[in-house]
Amino acid sequence: METEVNKTEDFLDCWQRQIEKGIYLARQGKTDEVEILCIELDSLLRGVCLDEELSEEFAEQAEKLKLLYHELCLILRSEMMHIAEALKHTKKGRLAARTYRNNV
């Protein structure tokens, strides 16, 4: 039978692998896959608080997970900014094309 410590350790290991996978996918620009992964992460994290409920034994690993999660969030924010910029350029191009079409 698994002890509580083993369950916590398995949970943290799984969460770390998932975040690292998310970072890899985000760097590859595979945002659809990252979204699916984040849904899976959400189900893993439901009901778990990494801030206060982990014993000191896991505090170091929990801190590493927080840093990895922060890195994933930064990559996704950066990707969102690139998408927003591309959308802005597309809108400007469509407006220019429409203006040109109306004036020809």
Indicate whether 39 pLDDT > 60.
yes
Burial grade of 79 (CB within 10 A; 0-12, 13-18, 19 or more): middle
Exposure b/e, 6-20, CB count within 10 A at least 16 = b: eebeebbeebbebbe
Between 85 and 66, residue with greater pLDDT:
85
pLDDT for residue 101? 87
Indicate whether 62 pLDDT > 80.
no
**DSSP state for residue 104 in the 8-state scheme:** -
Rounded Cα distance, 104 and 20, in Å: 53
Most confident of 1-10, 32-41, 84-93: 84-93
Rounded Cα distance, 3 and 88, in Å: 53
Reported as a pLDDT band with limits 50, 70 and 90, residue 51 is: very low
